[in-house]
Amino acid sequence: SSGTSLFGNGFASRHPIASHSTFVSKVLASGGCRSLLECTLAGDHPFVQDRKFGVTHLDHMSEKDRIKQIEDFDPVSKNIDILMGDMNA
């Protein structure tokens, strides 16, 4: 199964994707608009149970914009356990 978003983020897993959503950043960055794809997985493996995954691709041009984007995504308050992607740092 795979989950995708309109912004090119994707998540592939051998476990079924139980739910997914896309959060679009309000930050107007020099490298363009970014998003965060969030998902949970189904399955009996203890690693995927009760975990929320997130994937993003932060701005490639500005550290200042990357910081603003990650603050806007706020993975801690969204209870994201594992954040993946291209952080460009």
Q: Is the pLDDT of residue 2 over 80?
A: no
**If you write DSSP's letter for every residue of 6-61 in order, what string do you get?**
TTS-EEE-SSPEEEEEEEE-----TT---EEEEEEE-SS-TTTTT-EEEEEE--SS
- How many CA atoms within 13 Å lie on the side-chain side of 6? 6
pTM for the whole structure: 0.84
pLDDT at residue number 68: 94
Q: Is the pLDDT of residue 74 over 80?
A: yes
Q: Are 20 and 39 in contact (CB under 8 A)?
A: yes
Neighbours of 10 (CB within 10 A): 12
Condensed to tens digits (0 to 9), the pLDDT of residues 18-36 reads 999 999 999 988 888 899 9
State the amino acid at position 31 in one-letter form. G
Query: How large is the average pLDDT for residues 26-49?
Result: 91
CA distance 89 to 19: 29
